[in-house]
Structure 1
Amino acid sequence: MTASPIGTAFVVGSGPTGLASAIALRTQGFDVRIIDKSTEPSTHSKALVIWARTLEMLDGHLDVGRILDAGIPGKKMRLFARGEKVAEIGLEETDSRFVGGLFLPQYDLERILAERVLELGVTIERGLELVGFEQTSHDTVEVTLRDAEGGQTAASADWLIDCSGSHSVVRRHLDLGDRHRAELPVRFSIADVVVSGVPQEMPEPSDGIASNFTHPDGLCVFFPVDDDRYRIVLEDDSIDDGAVPDLTELARAVRLRTGLELELSDPAWLTSFGVRERVLNDYGVGRVLIAGDAAHVHSPAGGHGMNTGIQDAINLAWKLALISRGVAGNTTLRSYSEERSEIGLQIVTSSSHMTRLMTLQNPVMRFARNTAMHLALGFDAIQRRALRSLSMIDLNYRNFGLRSSSSIRRDRDSLHPGDRLPPIVLRSSGDEVHVDELTRPDRFTLFVIESPGTPDFDKAMDEMGGILERMPDALRPLVQLVPIHADEVSATARGEICDASGALRAQAGFRGHGAMLVRPDRYIAFFCGALDGQPVLDWFAGL
């Protein structure tokens, strides 16, 4: 980046959350340092699924095609009881430009994100550990680092973002409060292995199909890791956290619970874990913030942990940029904790319910669960709802966090402030373009949407253009104005975008010309009439 940096940010941890944080902060214009106490990248697969909403939010920060090319597109998740298929959820048909879920081991995602970090001119400094920090003034954080030989050095930055995981030094030193904390009475063994003797009932990993086998002895789940290996997650209350399971015993349990004569070999990773849940009330104090597993931990059910951390990082970066540019203050800084702590609680609650549901011990309750899932997932509407929840595209900031509002009356069933911007198809010079592709991760986007049969759209555009001119000098470059015409001929003549089908106008709920402000993270901030732009200025003044 050639422009002068807007500030300095120090990122701790080079897992997916830390790397996403470094990328997002650099995209916003920060000078970034990122450190990790490990001298080499992890070779363990760890997280395995990237959901559609995470891909949407990463899009624009890097070429998401690199991630898609490296993974296995998810096709379905199947549920078996005593060897009989009970239900399945399709993973392909979702309201996104991307696949609902992509199977990709965490080390491959880290490699791709690390390549992007280097492309942005940032070096990952390995063998450095954060051992202390102090906010010495209103706008500076002093940090103490220790290298692999035990030597200590000091550094300073405008912001400290800790993405170092569940053993966070920052969290131990700050009084952030627990919004939720619990431990579930269940433990699991994990094995990333080659599965052979695979009958027709068990597809190849490259087919992108996950399989859940319930059994009176416990749960057994298969997730694709790569073209050759499955991740097997086996409920195992007899094993201690972190213990290495015996592969022979594990294979015996797998055969019992699946009813399939499977052989397991060539393990790439064997481990075990218990399920602890925690969500912090606050995600930072002053200029020291945390993201990812440092702020929230939960059951792996749903595969949302890594995804939530990446989304934390992207939510935070553009807000810190506004503050560093002097166009936002404490309201915007507080909104990071308010928004992400609430989302974290929703994710933990969902994963906890899912874990408890899939590990039921009572045979009557297991029968009721299997019957209910078989019946419910036979309906397309419930299938779609389940996938929207899994793929995280239903998450929203309605009624909490950064102020989201509508200054005009709109249709009742329309999009709400705080909702994700859906990928509605528009037209540009005869070609299709999705509305979310018109946004930028380092800009707000102010869409001005024409209503057919309503005069004065040029006047509406003049009004919104005038509003941009009245914005403070530091804010004006951060807002892009995008007209959306109702008539394709008019739009094409001007080289602009057309909503000929009326889909965007209908989902926005406008009854006349309207304006919709979209945040850099592609969530809707605000609706107003397009002939009176003062509410736009008022909204930004409240940051």
Structure 2
Amino acid sequence: MEQPGGSAEHDAVVVGGGPVGLCFGVLLAQAGANVVVLEARPERAKHTRAIGIHPPGLRVLRRAGVADVLLAEGVQIAEGVARSHGAGRTREVARLCFDPPVLAVPQWQTEEALEARLAEIAPGALRRGVRAVRVEQADGGAVVHCADGEGTSTGFSGRWVVAADGARSPMRGALGAQHHVPTRSRALPDAYLMGDFADTTGDGALAVLHLEAAGIVESFPLPGGVRRWVAHVDEAVVDPSARDLARLLGERCGAEVDAASCSMLSAFTVTERLAAGMLAGRVVLAGDAAHEVSPIGGQGMTLGWLDAEAFAPLIAADALGGAPAGNGPAWPELWAAAERERLAAARLAARQARLNMALGRALPPRLMAARNAAFRALYRAPWVGGRTAARFTMQA
């Protein structure tokens, strides 16, 4: 066990105890690796945040042993519909079937399930209240230097370090000149207002897109009779209120939302950030630390789990296989192939997110009506709907 100012050997040190870091921890522990997961937050935040688990993500969670728990807690979205509201009536534009369904679960429940699984197979592996501040490469491994809430310095050394510490990633920023990974960032011209309210729509497990001239409105079911609403807005909202969002939803798509039932409210803009690589010496960048994409489309969390599926077996095999110590991994061609595949998937997800956002922007009423009519005709062809559903659910 680590002592202040000391260090201990691990096969892997995972920085970040969110859904991606916890998934890495579980997969590594299941493979027999000695893993520690460092999380700065002393307690888990009870915030819904990311809610969509796409079929490839559920596959990874099944390997992690938590899929059945989440399926029992969540809402399976097997169908989505696009509608337009105007002239006192609502018309259907298109309908999609998701097979397998998308699972909607609040992020805190997903983290709770992964944390319980990690505690089951590797008791004590999760260390809360430990803030990683820098990483130092060493011969055959790396050391993560941390500070606890009392300012005590602690070092965690491992053969591998997984940086799953979010889009701003202190670990990525602390790699140093020798292992610096170039990262391309760009702010996109989109802003959103999001809230969770009691569901009074009667849409049940249906996902709904309202294609309106003033901008798209999306709504998704959540457990417990709650529905998430996301509205594209003209500019960033500095001081959002549930009442303002409820009024916007009523004006734009005719939704009747009870502002008093709001359990989560958020306003956000969109930044896309893609790292040029995921491997830096003995550090693996994962999740948002490697590829931040727009939350519109809900692909970011699943991307991170797929990173874990790709890299956790390689980390475990390298650590447990007794490969000679050195700065690079054993079987470099396998690592390079995994990195190429994961970066390509991130670029594809980023393109899909940009398309989703472009389709959600405001248009003059006549152009919007014409576009919706074109969509209505196009989606009469079953193969178009099938292809679109596959893209939305990360299966194409």
* TM more than 0.5: yes
Which secondary structure does the structure 2 equivalent of 1:303 belong to? coil
Q: Greater CA deviation, 367-376 or 301-310?
A: 367-376
- The residue aligned with 2:227 is 230
How far is 1:304 from its partner?
0.6
8 A contact 1:357–1:369 mirrored in 2: no
Change (3 A) 1:336 1:365: farther
- The residue aligned with 1:203 is 202
How far is 1:362 from its partner?
4.3
8 A contact 2:197–2:263 mirrored in 1: yes
How far is 1:289 from its partner?
1.0
- The residue aligned with 2:188 is 184
How far is 1:221 from its partner?
1.4
- The residue aligned with 1:257 is 252
CA distance in 1, matches of 2:298, 2:380: 23
- The residue aligned with 1:315 is 310
How far is 1:393 from its partner?
2.5
- For structure 1, list consecutive stretches of 5 or more residues without a partner in the other structure: 1-5, 395-543
Which secondary structure does the structure 2 equivalent of 1:166 belong to? coil
CA distance in 1, matches of 2:378, 2:340: 34
Q: Does 1:112 align with 2:113?
A: yes
- The residue aligned with 1:166 is 167
Which secondary structure does the structure 2 equivalent of 1:146 belong to? strand
Pick from 354, 357, 361 the counterpart of residue 355 of structure 1: 357
Q: Does 1:100 align with 2:101?
A: yes
Pick from 284, 288, 292 the counterpart of residue 279 of structure 2: 284
Which secondary structure does the structure 2 equivalent of 1:100 belong to? strand
**Structure showing greater relative contact order (alpha-carbon pairs closer than 8 Å, 6 or more residues apart):** 2
Which secondary structure does the structure 2 equivalent of 1:158 belong to? strand
CA distance in 2, matches of 1:164, 1:355: 26
8 A contact 1:8–1:157 mirrored in 2: yes
- The residue aligned with 1:333 is 335
TM-score, normalisation: structure 2: 0.89
- For structure 2, list consecutive stretches of 5 or more residues without a partner in the other structure: 1-8, 324-329
TM-score, normalisation: structure 1: 0.65
- The residue aligned with 1:73 is 76
How far is 1:274 from its partner?
0.2
- The residue aligned with 2:6 is none
Letter of the 1:24 counterpart: L
CA distance in 2, matches of 1:100, 1:89: 11
8 A contact 2:232–2:360 mirrored in 1: no
8 A contact 1:79–1:88 mirrored in 2: yes
Which secondary structure does the structure 2 equivalent of 1:108 belong to? helix
8 A contact 1:57–1:314 mirrored in 2: yes
How many residues align? The count is: 372
Pick from 174, 191, 216 the counterpart of residue 213 of structure 2: 216
1:122-521 alignment, distance < 5 Å: 122-123=123-124, 124-137=126-139, 139-174=140-175, 175-178=180-183, 180-195=184-199, 198=200, 202-204=201-203, 207-240=204-237, 243-324=238-319, 325=321, 328-394=330-396
Which secondary structure does the structure 1 equivalent of 2:12 belong to? strand
How far is 1:381 from its partner?
1.8
Q: Please say which structure displays the higher CA radius of gyration.
A: 1
Which secondary structure does the structure 1 equivalent of 2:131 belong to? strand
Identity of aligned residues (%): 26
Which secondary structure does the structure 1 equivalent of 2:288 belong to? helix
How far is 1:321 from its partner?
2.5
Deviations 1:243-272 (A, max 9, x none): 441222211111011124443322221111
CA distance in 2, matches of 1:64, 1:297: 24
How far is 1:210 from its partner?
1.4
8 A contact 1:33–1:122 mirrored in 2: no
